[in-house]
Chain A
Amino acid sequence: MEKIQRISTINLERNFQEVERALTSQEALEESNRCLYCFDAPCIKACPTGIDIPTFIKKIASGNLLGSAKTIMTSNPVGASCSRVCPTEELCEGACVLNHSTKPIMIGNLQRYATDWAIKNEQTLFEPGIPNGKAVAVVGGGPAGLSAARELARFGYKVTIFEAAEKAGGLNTYGIVSFRLPQSISYWEVEQVEKLNVTIQTNTRVGKDVPINDLLKDFDCIVLAVGMAHVPYLGIEGEDLEGVFDAIEFVKGTKSGKLTKDFVGKRVVVIGAGNTAIDGATCSVRLGAENVKILYRRTEEEMTAYDFEYEFAKQDVVEFRWLTAPKRIIGDESGKVTGIECIKMNLGEPDQDGRRRPNPVEGSEYVIPVDAVIKAIGQTRHLELIEALELLHDSGVVQVNKETYQTSNPKIYACGDVVFGKGNGDAMVVTAAQQGKLVAHSIYKQFKAAGVTQ
């Protein structure tokens, strides 16, 4: 068989095309008919947004694709993105009862099939509610913010989203690599929200372009869905050298305009082994880097990237260096990165979050010659904004009432990454979407209790 060349160093654009092939209509029909259409199905419970999966699959089988897309998007306002980025084997597909008899239904791919149909056929799935005279400001237009805005608009609220970036969509637009989630999908979801008369003010940073007091004054309540900020400093020498990148910004760069040729033939190391580290590494490969290594101070066991991401990176020939921590980044006289000094680690006792604490091995330092270093060791929080809003928080994780999602200021609700962390659940797109929905439902309930009828 002819060998398929996975990565092109000439046509970089091709490397960033969606990797996973869409189901053909015949595949979708066969797979949808294989679904048992379970009653009270475990896949529904395994979906953080509770999509009625058997129903949307049944609708694919019956040829009711519009109904199928509606079923999906009703429960999950970013359901088209989630069909591509959800760790389905840990969620719906992992719960499929057919795991116990044959093999699970390809729920993610079927979800993509139905939502792709809606995108291709330019369907508008929802109508705005009858205006109830209340205005809500949503700060941040990512999955959580969009989800909240979508539900609020359907309830009849006048919603304005304030988005710092040029386009809304947040992580789905800028943070997830194009070859897993093309931007057009995220834009469609944003459009679906806009069609409900939601105003999206892009290039608008709250606290800078819009005073916080205006927000508090002009809106009946505020939904804080700002997500997280840049990658923190490593706190080691050489971090400001040319060739050291923030993984979030690096991935964003591959989703904004023309792809750079600067990485062709280069040696790259990525520091960290979470979802973003994998994205940074695979993007580097796809930008033509000759060698890409992931350095992680713990082991395969502790890494937070999903199994499918790990597999994907290995297929992209990303090398993994476990129990390895950066000690300093080395540059030449012109200020460009030439290498990274690493130190070997071993694992000690578990620390607060239950993961074994890595300890440096004295005298094990060595240097890896590299041209670029990508930092992917988590993200900082929008502390300044949180402080300016005078909200209670735990190192930037905003505290909320677990039932109402109200912050210490009852007029301000919060959802998404801004409340994740510190034992408050997983930061998945799908959980952010669900929280957005729950916030909207909570606001609806609070206003209803206060006599707002819609």
Chain B
Amino acid sequence: MADLSINLAGIKSPNPFWLASAPPTNSGYQVQRAFEAGWGGAVWKTLGDPILNVSSRFAAISFNGQRVAGFNNIELITDRPLDVNLKEIYETKKRFPNHAIIASLMMEPKQEKWHELVKRVEDVGVDGLELNFGCPHGMAERGMGSASGQVPALVERQTYWVKEVAKTPVIVKLTPNITDITATAEAACNGGADAISMINTINSLMGVDLETWNTIPHVAGKGAHGGYCGPAVKPIALNMVAECARHANINVPISGIGGISNWQDAVEFMLMGATGVQICTAAMHHGFRIVEDMIEGLSHYLDGKGIKSVSEIIGKSVPKYSDWGNLDLNYNIVAKINTEVCINCNKCHIACEDTSHQCIDRLTDENGNGYLKVREEDCVGCNLCSIICPVDGAIDMVEVPNELPPMSWNERQTALSLAAECKIDIHK
């Protein structure tokens, strides 16, 4: 069996699956249940001044009958006094010394307040700290959470303050509610962060009730934006992790968060540069027991590939992620429809006809049966038909050889500018 243990900036855990700072990690009772179920670590629900909360806090998107495709909340940080949380962290760590407990912290941007909080929390024996610069609702209106996290200078300064006193590794949790997450990630690094984690939740409004015209959820007839998470946000999170992982000035470990529901998602995040992952929505949907399949599935995957340690896969796909300007313009794929698998729903035809490049023909064979065929010379390889096709294996996207050598936009522009300066000859 492969070694699943990880070491994220000095924080060790028996496996890469941590519970994210969120409702599942609100108390010692919950975190201990999670560790019993097999979770490798937990980021304790954000500590700070005791907070009042509202009732009616969560909402979810069902997509065509599949529940919890996306999830949102307007809950705030911990609703329990700091000393109660600290006592339970101490007890939990004592019972589970080999599991990682990271305290999520939030504080108004004042140096001495941060210093005090860090010292008190580290005194109870946490393995690391995670600075919550991401919570998008409620706290942000008071200048904390994502209000800090959207300003690189504030991220850097507060990280610096924490690092002035912290003895354990400091993870900075970033908000996705920003144009370019690498700006704040870099700021965190400049402030001395030992690691970064992403993404926190995304600003969202889940819906409006057509009968009452109330927001979903609403609190006594009023709503406010909440933080969006769950399977639907995974591609956004994965991109942000990958962008940070490939950034020249961001050289700290990444804890990946955002829509991870199973071991396969976790592998994707790790391939894209995450050292470990944090999970919340999947646990809220199914309970802590889902970690059993995560651990086992990851282990079988690594064994199947002959990989000894999960650490070996970290970042392995990062070199494959680049800018559009580096993509080969001479690479061609076309759609091929396998008539014997096709069930003749004609969805590919109408999708291509109306919304792509009009290259899927409806034809009739000698027996009078309809079939679909791609005019390959007109196919641009957009993938649309294979994406919407409801049957596995009915449409393959296949590579077609191109006699031209690979050339990217960047190479093309370089070549053109050299030609303009008459340094090379252009024949084609």
Task: Give chain A's interface residues, CB within 8 Å of chain B.
Answer: 24-26, 33, 37, 39, 55, 58-59, 61-64, 66-67
Q: Please state if A66 and B300 are interface contacts (CB–CB under 8 Å).
A: yes
Q: B262 near A: Cβ within 8 Å?
A: yes
Q: From B92-100, B289-297, B397-405, B419-427, give the one contacting chain A.
A: B289-297
Q: Please state if B297 and A26 are interface contacts (CB–CB under 8 Å).
A: no
A-B contact list, 14 entries, CB within 8 Å: A26-B392, A37-B286, A55-B292, A55-B293, A59-B293, A59-B296, A62-B262, A62-B263, A62-B264, A64-B297, A64-B300, A66-B300, A67-B297, A67-B300
Which of A25, A37, A64 has most chain B Cβ within 10 Å? A64
- Provide the bound-state CA to CA distance between A37 and B68, in Å: 14
A62: chain B residues at CB < 8 Å are: 262-264, 293-294, 297
Digit string of B165-191 for contact with A (CB within 8 Å is 1, else 0)?
Answer: 000000000000000000000000000
Q: Please state if A63 and B392 are interface contacts (CB–CB under 8 Å).
A: no
A61: chain B residues at CB < 8 Å are: 262
B300: chain A residues at CB < 8 Å are: 64, 66-67
Q: B391 near A: Cβ within 8 Å?
A: yes
B393, chain A: closest CB distance, angstroms: 9
B126, chain A: closest CB distance, angstroms: 30
List the 9 closest pairs (A to B, CB-CB), nearest first: A64-B297, A62-B262, A67-B296, A26-B392, A66-B300, A59-B293, A37-B286, A62-B297, A62-B293
B289: chain A residues at CB < 8 Å are: 39, 55
Q: B66 near A: Cβ within 8 Å?
A: yes
Known contacts A33-B66, A39-B287, A64-B263, A59 near B392 by CB under 8 Å: no
A24: chain B residues at CB < 8 Å are: 392
B391: chain A residues at CB < 8 Å are: 26
Q: Please state if A64 and B392 are interface contacts (CB–CB under 8 Å).
A: no
A37 to B, closest residue via Cβ: B286
B67 to A, closest residue via Cβ: A36
A261, chain B: closest CB distance, angstroms: 35
Task: Give chain B's interface residues, CB within 8 Å of chain A.
Answer: 66, 262-264, 286-287, 289-290, 292-294, 296-297, 300, 391-392
Q: Please state if A64 and B293 are interface contacts (CB–CB under 8 Å).
A: yes
B290: chain A residues at CB < 8 Å are: 58
A62 to B, closest residue via Cβ: B262
A22, chain B: closest CB distance, angstroms: 15
- Provide the bound-state CA to CA distance between A109 and B164, in Å: 60
A209, chain B: closest CB distance, angstroms: 42
A10, chain B: closest CB distance, angstroms: 27
- Provide the bound-state CA to CA distance between A407 and B391, in Å: 56
B390 to A, closest residue via Cβ: A26
A448, chain B: closest CB distance, angstroms: 25
A33: chain B residues at CB < 8 Å are: 66
A54, chain B: closest CB distance, angstroms: 9
B119, chain A: closest CB distance, angstroms: 41
- Provide the bound-state CA to CA distance between A92 and B293, in Å: 21
**Count of CB-CB pairs between chains A and B under 8 Å:** 37
B287: chain A residues at CB < 8 Å are: 39
Q: Please state if A67 and B293 are interface contacts (CB–CB under 8 Å).
A: yes
Contacts A26-B392, A59-B293 supplied; 18 other A-B pairs, CB < 8 Å = A26-B391, A39-B287, A39-B289, A55-B289, A55-B292, A58-B286, A59-B296, A59-B297, A61-B262, A62-B263, A62-B293, A63-B262, A63-B264, A64-B297, A64-B300, A67-B293, A67-B297, A67-B300
Q: Please state if A64 and B296 are interface contacts (CB–CB under 8 Å).
A: yes
B293: chain A residues at CB < 8 Å are: 55, 58-59, 62, 64, 67
B66: chain A residues at CB < 8 Å are: 33
B108, chain A: closest CB distance, angstroms: 40
Known contacts A58-B290, A64-B263, A25 near B392 by CB under 8 Å: yes
- Provide the bound-state CA to CA distance between A67 and B293, in Å: 8
A25: chain B residues at CB < 8 Å are: 392
A59: chain B residues at CB < 8 Å are: 293, 296-297
B263: chain A residues at CB < 8 Å are: 62, 64
- Provide the bound-state CA to CA distance between A24 and B289, in Å: 28
- Provide the bound-state CA to CA distance between A332 and B103, in Å: 92
B292: chain A residues at CB < 8 Å are: 55
B296 to A, closest residue via Cβ: A67
- Provide the bound-state CA to CA distance between A58 and B263, in Å: 12
- Provide the bound-state CA to CA distance between A37 and B262, in Å: 14
B262 to A, closest residue via Cβ: A62
- Provide the bound-state CA to CA distance between A55 and B296, in Å: 12
- Provide the bound-state CA to CA distance between A76 and B238, in Å: 40
A98, chain B: closest CB distance, angstroms: 13
B392: chain A residues at CB < 8 Å are: 24-26
- Provide the bound-state CA to CA distance between A67 and B291, in Å: 13
B292, chain A: closest CB distance, angstroms: 7
A59 to B, closest residue via Cβ: B293
B392 to A, closest residue via Cβ: A26
B299 to A, closest residue via Cβ: A67
A66: chain B residues at CB < 8 Å are: 300
B69, chain A: closest CB distance, angstroms: 12
A442, chain B: closest CB distance, angstroms: 28
B292 to A, closest residue via Cβ: A55
- Provide the bound-state CA to CA distance between A64 and B300, in Å: 8
- Provide the bound-state CA to CA distance between A39 and B391, in Å: 32
B296: chain A residues at CB < 8 Å are: 59, 64, 67
B65 to A, closest residue via Cβ: A34
B262: chain A residues at CB < 8 Å are: 61-63
- Provide the bound-state CA to CA distance between A34 and B391, in Å: 18
- Provide the bound-state CA to CA distance between A66 and B392, in Å: 22
B297: chain A residues at CB < 8 Å are: 59, 62-64, 67
A26, chain B: closest CB distance, angstroms: 5
- Provide the bound-state CA to CA distance between A62 and B293, in Å: 8
A15, chain B: closest CB distance, angstroms: 26
B287 to A, closest residue via Cβ: A39
B264: chain A residues at CB < 8 Å are: 62-63
B295 to A, closest residue via Cβ: A67
B340, chain A: closest CB distance, angstroms: 14
- Provide the bound-state CA to CA distance between A24 and B391, in Å: 11
- Provide the bound-state CA to CA distance between A389 and B405, in Å: 83
- Provide the bound-state CA to CA distance between A39 and B292, in Å: 14
B286 to A, closest residue via Cβ: A37
- Provide the bound-state CA to CA distance between A24 and B263, in Å: 22
- Provide the bound-state CA to CA distance between A66 and B287, in Å: 22
- Provide the bound-state CA to CA distance between A58 and B296, in Å: 12
